[in-house]
């Protein structure tokens, strides 16, 4: 299930929640102007993304069982620690939990959860083997996950849909370069991934053109994101050997939390951004115990 990665999915929900305007709820709670009951939709959405992301990761290993038997025999299914049948059952249960939890918020949330489920299965079974549609498909899964957070206030989806493009581009960069994490990759792929990361960094600050977004609050987080991600991607682009690529992918995945904190702070302020960023050390701790790539 890659628990460290699931924590990054929670960050998607939190930034979507902030972009919906619901992030102001935390300030109201601190000032005693609202009750914790108002956070119930957020709790359902966090449970939903846990199921959806966990299910997608499990089915990734289900579909890759034969390939992993050759390339990564130590993984759960090829090693015999988990049967393919039981893994399929686990993945299905997780998807069901994700969809049911999303429907507790709204019909739109449930529809987004179903879309994420289908997109995950498409990626796991077919798309990930394609050099263009694989990264695009995975990006759509993460972009939709952010919109799942926005759906805490369904009416705002139409105004904030473009925010999904940021994780789409970011994840496309990681997925593109990750295609060489076993046998090594190509320099051109690393250069493309670097270009996509640069576009993301520009975009999270350009959101300041919106009246509701404060770029100066997002700037410290954007700098942290650049410091964490760029050196590893540059190294992987210069020397696209498997070890460098795996390191870049691992840092890139965990840094999704920093990306989300950047956008969240722009919409809901510095303290909300720090709240999201707190998930990073938690995820890094889990990454020492469980695989990320």
Is 181 a residue whose pLDDT tops 70? no
CA 18 to CA 214: how far, in whole Å? Answer: 13
The mean pLDDT of 168-178, rounded to a whole number, is 87
Q: For the residues 66-94, what does the mean pLDDT come to? A: 94
At residue 26, the pLDDT reads 65
Average pLDDT over residues 172-199: 82
Give the 3-state secondary structure of residue 78: coil
CA angle (181 as vertex; 116, 66 as ends), nearest 5: 70
Can you tell me whether residue 83 is helix, strand or coil? coil
Give the pLDDT mean for 12-36: 76
Average pLDDT of the residues in 249-273 = 93
32: confidence class by pLDDT, cuts 50, 70, 90: low
Residue 28's pLDDT is: 65
Instruction: Report pLDDT for 222.
Output: 97
What value does the mean pLDDT take over residues 178-207?
85
pLDDT at 194 over 80: yes
pTM value is 0.89
Task: Give pLDDT, residue 78.
Answer: 94
* 30, pLDDT greater than 70: no
Report residue 147's pLDDT band, with 50, 70 and 90 as the boundaries: very high
CA dihedral defined by 185, 191, 192, 196, rounded to 10 degrees? 120
**Per-residue confidence at 179, pLDDT binned at 50, 70, 90?**
confident
pLDDT at res. 121: 97
Q: Is pLDDT at 199 greater than 80 in this prediction?
A: yes
Residue 25, pLDDT above cutoff 80? no
| Helix 133-150 / helix 3-19 crossing angle, nearest 10 deg | 50
Q: What is the pLDDT of residues 92-123, one digit of tens each?
A: 999 999 999 999 999 999 999 999 999 999 99
């Amino acid at each position: 299930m890659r628990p460290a990665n699931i924590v990054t999915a929670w960050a998607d929900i939190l930034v979507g929640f902030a972009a919906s305007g619901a992030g102001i709820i935390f300030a109201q709670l601190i000032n005693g102007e609202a009750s914790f009951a108002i956070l119930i939709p957020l709790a359902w959405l966090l449970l939903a993304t846990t199921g959806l992301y966990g299910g997608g990761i499990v089915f990734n290993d289900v579909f890759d069982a034969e390939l992993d038997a050759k390339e990564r025999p130590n993984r759960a299914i090829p090693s015999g620690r988990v049967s393919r049948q039981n893994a399929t059952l686990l993945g299905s249960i997780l998807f069901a939990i994700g969809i049911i939890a999303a429907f507790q918020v709204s019909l739109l949330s449930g529809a987004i959860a179903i879309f994420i489920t289908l997109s995950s299965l498409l990626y796991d079974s077919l798309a990930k083997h394609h050099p263009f549609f694989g990264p695009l498909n995975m990006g759509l899964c993460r972009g939709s996950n952010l919109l799942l957070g926005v759906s805490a206030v369904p009416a705002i989806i139409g105004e904030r849909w473009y925010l999904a493009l940021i994780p789409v581009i970011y994840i496309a960069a990681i997925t593109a370069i990750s295609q060489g994490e076993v046998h090594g990759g190509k320099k051109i792929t690393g250069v493309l991934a670097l270009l996509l990361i640069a576009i993301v960094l520009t975009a999270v600050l350009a959101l300041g053109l919106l009246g509701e977004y404060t770029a100066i609050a997002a700037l410290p987080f954007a700098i942290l994101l650049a410091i964490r991600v760029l050196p590893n991607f540059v190294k992987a682009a210069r020397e696209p050997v498997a070890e460098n690529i795996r390191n870049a992918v691992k840092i890139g995945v965990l840094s999704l939390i920093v990306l989300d904190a950047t956008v969240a702070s722009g919409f809901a302020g510095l303290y909300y951004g720090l709240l999201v960023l707190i998930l990073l050390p938690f995820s890094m701790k889990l990454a020492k115990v469980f695989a990320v790539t």
